[in-house]
A and B are shown apart, each in its own frame.
Chain A
Amino acid sequence: MTTLEPTKPALGWATASRIAWRELRASYAKFLFVILSVAIGVAALTGVRGLSEAFKRTLMTQARSIMAGDLSARMFRQLTPKEAQQLDSLDMQGVQRTDATELVSMASSATDPVPLLVSLKAVDPAAYPFYGSVLLDPAGDFRSVLTDHTAIVGPDLLYRLKLHIGDTLRIGNTTLTIAAVVAREPDRMSSTMGLGPRVFITRHALENSGLLQQGSRAGERFLFRLAPNAPNVQKVRSRLEAILPEAQVQDFRQANPGLTRGLDNATGILSMICLVAMVLGAIGVAMAMRAHLAQRMDILAVMKSIGARSSDILRIYVLQTTLLGLTGGLLGVVLGIGVEKLLPHVLGLLLPITVATYLPIRAGLAGLLTGLLTTLLFCLPPLLDIRNVKPNLVFRRLVDEGASAAKMSFSARWKEHRAQWISVVIIVAGLCVIAWGLSDSWIVATWFTGGLGAILLFILAMTAGLLKLLRMLLDKTRLSLPSFLRHGLANLYRPGNQSKAVLSALGVGVMLILSVFLMQRSMIRDMQVTLGTGVPNIFLIDISTDELPGVRKLVAAQPGVIGAMEALPIINGRLTQLDGVDAQTRKDEKHFPRHLLQSTVLTWSDTVPNGAKVKEGAWWGPHAHGQVAVEQDLAKRLGLHLGSTVAFSVNDQLIPVKVAALIRNDGEHVNARSEFVLSRDALAGLPTVWYGAIHVAPAQVGRVQAALFAAFPTVTVINIADVIETIQSVVRQITFVIRFLAGFSILAGVVILASSVASTRFRRIREVVVLKTLGARRSRIAGIFAVEFIMLGSLAGLVGTVFANLLSSQLLRRMDVTFHGAWLADLIGILGTGLLAVATGWLASLRILGQRPLEVLREE
């Protein structure tokens, strides 16, 4: 009876490591590209997340300074006497308070009558800020420099109004002397986002200006500092929330939740862009590993013929892949520190505070782990191919290569490639998990994985199609083409060339960058097109009822004003009840518009306002009582329908109304500001300011602004062109950041190209030897290579450009923005990628051109 031999033990880890390491050391030049592929994505990710971590840490450590207090409460109306009394009583408990009023206004210089929109902040310099300090230029004490007769301004105001320190500034009814420039405002991030340069004045100066009137939309920020004997933060916070139920109350422990939330969202999105670069890098690693294993085929066959199992060999190459992933990841983390330091310069003014950068340990670990995981995931398919290497390949490799091309049934193909299909599923699932880990959202992760997978598949399909088309054209025309062109194009199909993968990787990078550019361009163009139409381009804010007839008359007399002025009465209130239920009880519902509980803009109209369309119900007649028309989408969010009852509070007065109509605004007229239009009677007698809207020929805007400011200095005039300019500059900055990060994808594509050239190095060298033997000069050989690389790059550019136009047009359509193509950018995308490919390819092939052929062969 034959006894079974005991099972052979697996190849030891130590032996496997030794083999893996020696192989790596022997081909270190080849693996340099692999390491670089991994490092690029990891560097981008580490940089982004490192900066985000540093930003949050800065928010935490500087929380009190950023708030300028221990607690703050923000409202968009002035205190009632009762509220003021209640807040004053807190002082006796050790809770100090100082108020800051923030509003937009107009300011002008003596020399230039055209006023400038500014962000005004009125403070008590004796108390403000409770924490941090306002830095001035020239250096000085804020408390003594800011007086009732002076203003401290942002540097951009001096530039735009062509003023200097010591000049005067007219604000409302008062004139102040510019005493200094504000170099740093500690709580700028916590302030209301304003349009225009910052101007500090005292509270007394604000009163003198006449800008504040009942009903004005000034933002009131109440800052609190707790003395040692004061109640704890939470107790004071609860008290404030009770005194000011409609105010937004925060304390320093939250470190600006709105900003933190925004930062997390931005970090998540930017991390996804970095993940694209990482995925491309991992694809590059997989390609290099596949080429490496293909070259090692004979050795693998020999190993199997002397008894090694597939698992033994797999162990060696999994170790190798892990080592490469780790090395690339570590290099990426080091480079990421540099990216983290560079990003603040790229972000520019989008970053409102100076961030102290730390060693990004958490971000580095996340980057390293992500890099390693994506590398291992994408190398699964080529590693699994090791199982298919048969020992007899040592003798019959050429024969077997031909045999595998025979046709197989679907089930046979499935059986043969089952492991590959399963590895693809694992890759997709793994990528989804990684994306979730980076974005903290399953929805984002799923969309990202699905989207990227679909794009890669489509791009691969398109590149395969293009290459096939090119081959068909080449086959039909080859002998009529010049020899170098024919040879260069034919090289795209060189055995071992990974043209499809290189084209796809480069194409994705081009697609990303061009998509962002096209979307930015279209959004900005769309905004500018709006200016040119007949819709209002100048808005007048805070016109008092007494001023209204005078403003109308002045506007009508101005040249360049087209049509009559639209005017909208505005009453500030807040939402209190919905169908008899206290609205506060619904504030935690999903999509509930919580801001209405603090501040609601109400208006009245006897007829359907300009630009509004009644979608349901009917407008009321001249003697209507207690009716309201609600914007359709808002009604849906609030659960309102025709006949629902709503109550508002205005100056402690309850205003109950019934929903008579649901409307939709076109967003281009002044009444677009109000989502609730009431019947006149409901708001009669309440403090009212007016908003106006006029359409002025662009060339006359300055004159109209100057005339209005001269006659009505307390009326704020907003030129939509200025607003759009501000938004455009923010959009440009944001898209610059995105394009900077998308550039890492291009870099990954370039590395893949270089790696592909390196992996076919030996074939190229042999080809060069043959060509030189046949009499080809270096310029001829360089020309052949140039054709190959230009074609590769230009095709990648073409694929990327086509998809960029498709993707951005679809995304813009969903955003209701008109897509504007950019043929010049498309051309630069195609040609630029071609030139980049030529430069990369030549650099990677430089050495083999100048030397004697056999010298190079010997060195290889």
Chain B
Amino acid sequence: MIEVRGVRKSIRNGSRTVDILKGIDIVVPSGQFVAIMGASGSGKSTLLGLLAGLDAPSSGEVLLDGIDISRLDEDRLAEIRGKKLGFVFQSYQLIPTLTALENVLLPHELNAHGDGKPHARELLTSVGLGDRLTHYPVQLSGGEQQRVALARAFMLNPPIVLADEPTGNLDSVNGQHVLDLLLSRNRDAGTTLVLVTHDPVVAALAHRRIVLRDGTVVADEVQA
């Protein structure tokens, strides 16, 4: 479960202070698929970063399965991220010097024991890249890179997956493919999925749609 309590986020931009989030209160139950929407500058990516512990709120709390991650030190946060979170970036963010297999294997090597290679291979095959294990990111197309990123996010079967505009850089065919993989993870494994998007078609697929405007929640509706 994800809980956000009274979270505010302000940053200094030169001499002035910019309030990105102005008090957010959200609870996301386990297994829910939530789409966060909003125009550019509404604070949706910032909110996602706070949920992942990649940033710290100026005030308020963020709890993952009851653990307040807002004030934890970096190493403890890394541990929690490794165990509880899978993150999918808009621009894939694969490590360019590692092969597809090694990128997918990375979460296992950082957080688990034993041989993760069979599972990594299996994941890559499941996303249609069984024949690209030894390819470097520069040798893969955008859609293929994003699928490797998905496989990486799923490697440790995290209970929560956060995705920041995962189809933003993809064409419609690849985008649909990636979406299908995310949806099947949520449906079949019960993974909590929080997805940031500006595409209403993608948002329509979610159980719940949260709309941000100017740093506040202006709509929060459960969809049929």
0/1 per residue, B18-57, Cβ < 8 Å to A? 0000000000000000000000000000000100111110
Majority SS of interface residues in chain A? helix
Does A622 lie at the interface of the complex (its beta carbon under 8 Å from any beta carbon of B)? no
Chain A residues in 8 Å Cβ range of B54: 769, 772-773, 852-854
The CA-CA distance from A494 to B138 in the complex, in Å, is 11
Of B49, B97, B101, B106, which is within 8 A of A774 by CB?
B106
B98 contacts chain A at the CB level, 8 A cutoff: yes
Place the interface of chain B in its size category.
Answer: 35 or more
Given contacts A487-B97, A487-B98, contact A772 B55 (CB under 8 A): no
Query: Do the beta carbons of A495 and B96 come within 8 Å of each other?
Result: yes
For the complex, would chain B's binding face be called helix, strand, loop or mixed by DSSP majority?
Answer: helix
4 residue pairs, one from A and one from B, having the closest CB atoms:
A775-B82, A490-B97, A483-B109, A854-B55
* Docked complex: B107-158 residues within 8 A CB-CB of A: 107, 109-111, 117, 138, 152
Bound form: Cα–Cα A380–B81 in Å = 48
Which of B77, B107, B110 counts the most A-chain CB atoms under 10 A from its CB? B110
Known: A767-B95, A852-B55, A854-B49. A772 touches B78 (CB 8 A): yes
B-contact bits for A768-782, CB 8 A (1 contact / 0 none): 011111111111100
Cα-based distance from A487 to B98 in the complex (angstroms): 7
Closest residue of chain B to A775 (Cβ to Cβ) is: B82
CA distance A776 to B93 in the complex (A): 15
A850 in contact with B96 (CB, 8 Å): no
Q: Binary interface profile of A, 483-499, with partner B (CB < 8 Å = 1, else 0)?
A: 10011001101110000
Interface check A680, CB cutoff 8 A: no
Most chain B beta-carbon neighbours within 10 Å: one of A479, A493, A494, A778: A479
Are A778 and B75 closer than 8 Å at their CB atoms? yes
Q: How far is the CA of A755 from the CA of B59 in the complex (A)?
A: 38
Report 30 cross-chain contacts, Cβ distance below 8 Å, ordered by A residue: A479-B102, A479-B117, A483-B105, A483-B106, A483-B109, A487-B95, A490-B98, A491-B97, A769-B93, A770-B89, A770-B93, A770-B95, A771-B95, A772-B74, A772-B77, A772-B81, A773-B85, A774-B81, A774-B106, A774-B152, A775-B78, A775-B83, A775-B107, A775-B110, A779-B75, A851-B74, A852-B54, A852-B56, A853-B55, A855-B56
Interface positions of A (Cβ within 8 A of B): 478-479, 483, 486-487, 490-491, 493-495, 766-767, 769-780, 850-855, 858
* Contact of B11 with A by CB under 8 A: yes
A769 proximity list for chain B (CB < 8 A): 54, 93
Q: Which residues of B contact A483 (CB under 8 A)?
A: 105-106, 109-110
Q: Does B79 reach chain A (CB closer than 8 Å)?
A: yes
Question: Which residue of B is nearest A494, CB measured?
Answer: B97
Known: A854-B54, A855-B56. A778 touches B74 (CB 8 A): yes
CB within 8 Å for A777 and B97 given contacts A483-B106, A769-B54: no
CB contacts (< 8 Å) of B53 on chain A: these are: 852
Asked if A486 and B81 sit within 8 Å, CB to CB, the answer is no
Residues in B whose Cβ lies below 8 Å from that of A478 = 99, 102
Given known pairs A483-B109, A854-B55, the reply for A766 and B74 (CB within 8 Å) is no
Contacts of B75 in A (CB 8 A): 777-779
Residues of B within 8 A of A491 (CB): 97
In the complex formed, the residue of A with least CB distance to B75 is: A777
Q: Determine whether the beta carbon of A773 is less than 8 Å from that of B52.
A: yes
**In whole angstroms, what is the CA distance A352 to B5 when docked?**
78
Give the docked Cα–Cα distance between A769 and B101 (Å).
20
* CB neighbours of A858 from chain B (8 A): 11
Residues in A whose Cβ lies below 8 Å from that of B102? 478-479, 486
A774 to B52 alpha-carbon distance, docked (Å): 10
CB-CB < 8 A to B105: which residues of A? 483
Interchain CB contact under 8 A, A850 and B82? no
How close is A782's CB to chain B, nearest CB, in angstroms? 11
B93 touches A775 (CB 8 A): no
Q: In the complex, what's the smallest C-beta–C-beta distance from B141 to chain A, in angstroms?
A: 11
Q: Which residues of B contact A772 (CB under 8 A)?
A: 54, 74, 77-78, 81
Whole-angstrom distance between the alpha carbons of A776 and B108 in the complex? 10
B11: chain A residues at CB < 8 Å are: 858
Apart from A770-B89, A771-B106, A853-B55, list 14 A-B contacts with CB within 8 A: A486-B102, A490-B97, A495-B138, A767-B95, A773-B54, A773-B85, A774-B106, A774-B111, A776-B78, A777-B79, A778-B74, A778-B78, A852-B74, A855-B56
Contact A855 B93 (CB under 8 A): no
A144 CB → nearest B CB, Å: 79
Shortest Cβ distance from A776 into B: residue: B110
Residues of A within 8 A of B85 (CB): 773
Query: What separation, in Å, do the CA atoms of A495 and B96 have in the docked complex?
Result: 8
